[in-house]
A and B are shown apart, each in its own frame.
Chain A
Amino acid sequence: MSRQSNRTTESKKMNSELFTLTYGALVTQLCKDYENDEEVNKQLDKMGYNIGVRLIEDFLARSSVGRCHDFRETADVIAKVAFKMYLGITPSVTNWSPAGDEFSLILESNPLVDFVELPDNHSNLVYSNLLCGVLRGALEMVQMAVDVRFAQDTLRGDNVTEIRMKFIKRIEENLPAGDE
């Protein structure tokens, strides 16, 4: 009980520079370890996925948001609550597809890429690909299969950073036998 009362919903904050530089060190290491950018992108996505799978629990515990009724609500929660909570930024949600199953997150600033400049020989590297993995992993844990990719990136000379998310399907819950 005492533990519960100690627990604050406000998560602790830290200076973003250590985070940024640590991520940079990780990407640099991956570029040394793998032969091409595609492999690095894949690895970043995988690590992001692992993070997302664990992060969703932390998120639900702290944010006390309930179940989302539709994909639009999900988009709003991701942009206004999740990004704000973890990265201290609030991307805008735009470019909805007519069917309402696809949208873009526009990031005005991206804490992962402070201090970063891509060298010429890494033109295929999606530097912040970790984020895609995180979103995919986290949503999978709430029964949503989504496709996430970077559509634009300021690092590659685009004006904004745009993450495109597409809803694929609801994942049916498979309850283990004997469970309610």
Chain B
Amino acid sequence: MVAKRQERRLVKQRGSSSVFFRTTGLKKRRKMDTRFTRGKSAILERSLTRPKTEVSVSAFALLFSEMVQYCQSRVYSVSELQARLADLGQGVGASLLDVLVLREKNGKRETKVLNILLFIKVSVWKALFGKEADKLEQANDDDKTYYIIEKEPLINAFISVPKENSTLNCAAFTAGIVEAILTHSGFSAKVTAHWHKGTTLMIKFDEAVITRDKALDGR
């Protein structure tokens, strides 16, 4: 309901904007200026390599549970719920990628499919869950598909899935994180979570990504 109302308002604004384009443009610029002239925020001064701080797993589990319930209250099906969780994960992945690349790779990004996958299996997993992912496998019959397998993911540790929704896997959230990291690194892919050998994240790369990778190999 709310979203729809907002959308309508946006459309309205857009509809009438052409006449006032110039003024709004100016206004916008002035707004940007205050943002940049305002004193530098403290957050920019802080070092990226901070001492590791820790929180309790219970705190995270309770927060995640509230998140799942909130998402559930706004959807009608399991797949919609998973899509919403994945959306939330995307936000996490996008922010995490930047900080990890700067912190651990000196700002250098991966260019090869295998390397980015290993980056996820090792660095990303360690930053998120304090350990490497259990397994990274490639599908036998398909060079576009890879699997990251986690026997007992932290995310699902305290979640029991009701029988009537047995396909629901809240690791869709992790799938969202991984998808954002791949996509923002220039490896467009679709990532989904499944119940298989624990939890398996299935990564399907775009055709173009694999073609490019092979071309790089050829050099």
Interface residues, chain A, with chain B CB atoms under 8 Å away: 11-19, 21-26, 28-29, 32-35, 43, 47, 50-51, 54-55, 58, 85-88, 109, 111, 114-117, 120, 130, 154
Contacts and interface: CB of A to CB of B under 8 A. Distances in A.
Contacts of A13: 54-57
A17 B127 CA distance: 8
Interface string B37-72: 000011100000000111111111011111101100
A87 B54 CA distance: 7
A88 B43 contact: no
B63 A23 contact: yes
A47 B66 contact: yes
B54 A16 contact: yes
A78 to B, nearest CB: 14
A116 B74 CA distance: 26
- Most chain A CB atoms below 10 A, which of B31, B52, B63, B69: B63
Contact of A15 (B54, B63, B87): B54
A18 B131 CA distance: 13
Interface in B24-43: 31, 34-35, 41-43
B47 to A, nearest CB: 12
Interface of B: 2-3, 5-6, 31, 34-35, 41-43, 52-60, 62-67, 69-70, 74, 87-89, 91-92, 95-96, 99, 127-130, 154
B64 A88 contact: no
A32 B107 CA distance: 31
B63 A51 contact: yes
Nearest to A52: B62
A51 B62 contact: yes
Given A14-B154, A15-B130, A29-B87, A22 B58 contact: no
